[in-house]
């Protein structure tokens, strides 16, 4: 099954107006002229979404947010509704990132509720899963990831509305990357879990991204694994030349 690759930048809590606008414009201009065969997505912080939407105008670079509420609207101070994200021009929302699971005690049940709200609002979701170092060292990586996938996916998840990102927690922002073989083992396992949870057809079409210190020097070998369908990139997505180099490697 040939799946179109997706290269997604997770800007996390980085960037002020002017440098972020410049970053988005550089990416948009390069993507417009290079016309890569992969899809490209950037996910800036909430307050930058409308500015970045404008900066991307005329390019095929998609826009995503990094979280959303499970509620549509109302008395939820500080939260942002998926309908507001859709209204701001978002195509995607990242949900269940390990930093949110850790910093905000987000459970897979909450991630699932958010995913269902996001799909109802017409957004696509990137559901993040991944084991900690202790879990990997005790041989539990596959088990942990399987549990997270089964409990976090929305009812109604399919290959057009849902992407999974496998991000081993020990590889995020640490410079340590899973070997292509270790990553592929988990990705292939996730695809088998999707066969059981969804269907064979959905499992064969759903994109599974790798995230965790992906950079120009390791992207090509990760992206050539059969079940790695793109990357969710943090640090290296904040420099246009690095992000654009990864996009080239995905071609
Ligand atoms: P990193 O972050 O590329 O900086 O490791 C990836 C992520 O957390 O999405």
Q: Rg of the chain's alpha carbons, rounded to an integer? A: 17
pLDDT tens sequence across 29-59: 999 999 999 999 999 999 999 999 999 999 9
* Ligand 1 lined by 10 (C-beta under 6 Å): yes
The angle, 0 to 180 degrees and rounded to 10, between the axes of the packed helices 240-249 and 216-223 is 20
**Residue 251 pLDDT class (50, 70, 90 cuts):** confident
* Average pLDDT of the segment spanning 97-109: 98
Residues 6+ away with beta carbon under 8 Å from 171: 177, 178, 211, 212, 213
User: Mutual orientation of helices 141-152 and 180-197 as an angle, nearest 10°?
Assistant: 40
Pick from 213, 238, 205, 235: which is nearest to 6 by CA? 205
Please give the pLDDT value at position 2.
83
Best residue for ligand 1 mutational test, from 11, 98, 178, 214 (most atoms within 8 Å of Cβ): 214
Region 3-12 average pLDDT: 98
Report the C-alpha gap between 69 and 242 in whole angstroms. 31
* Ligand 1 centroid, distance to 96 Cα (angstroms): 13
The domains found in the chain, sorted by start residue, are: 6-38+46-249 (3.20.20.70)
Confidence grade of residue 210 (pLDDT, cut at 50, 70, 90)? very high
Report the predicted TM-score, pTM, of the whole model to 2 decimal places: 0.98
| Ligand 1 atom with minimal separation from the 165 CA | 9
**Rounded alpha-carbon distances, angstroms, from residue 230 to 108, 163, 204:** 23, 10, 15
Note the pLDDT of residue 98. 98
Share of the chain above pLDDT 70, in %: 100
């Amino acid at each position: 099954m040939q799946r179109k690759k997706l290269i997604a930048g997770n800007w996390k809590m980085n960037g002020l107006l002017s440098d972020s606008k410049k970053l988005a414009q550089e990416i948009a201009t390069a993507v417009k002229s290079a016309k890569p065969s992969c899809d490209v997505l950037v996910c800036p912080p909430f307050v930058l979404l409308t500015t970045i939407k404008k900066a991307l105008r005329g390019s095929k670079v998609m826009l995503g947010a990094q979280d959303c509420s499970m509620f549509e609207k109302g008395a939820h101070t500080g939260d942002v509704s998926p309908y507001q994200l859709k209204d701001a021009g978002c195509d995607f929302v990242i949900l269940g990132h390990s930093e949110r699971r850790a910093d905000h005690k987000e459970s897979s049940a909450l991630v699932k509720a958010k995913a269902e709200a996001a799909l109802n609002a017409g957004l696509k979701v990137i559901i993040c899963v991944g084991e900690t170092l202790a879990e990997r060292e005790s041989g539990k990586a596959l088990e942990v990831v399987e549990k997270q996938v089964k409990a976090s996916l929305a009812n109604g998840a399919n290959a057009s509305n849902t992407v999974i990102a496998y991000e081993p927690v020990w590889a995020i922002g640490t410079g340590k990357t899973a070997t292509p073989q270790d990553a592929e083992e988990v990705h292939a396992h996730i695809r088998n879990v999707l066969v059981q949870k969804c269907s064979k057809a959905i499992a064969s079409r759903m994109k599974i991204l790798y995230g965790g210190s992906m950079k120009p020097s390791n992207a090509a070998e990760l992206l050539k694994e059969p079940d790695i369908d793109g990357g969710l990139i943090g640090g290296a997505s904040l420099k246009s030349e690095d992000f654009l180099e990864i996009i080239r490697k995905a071609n």
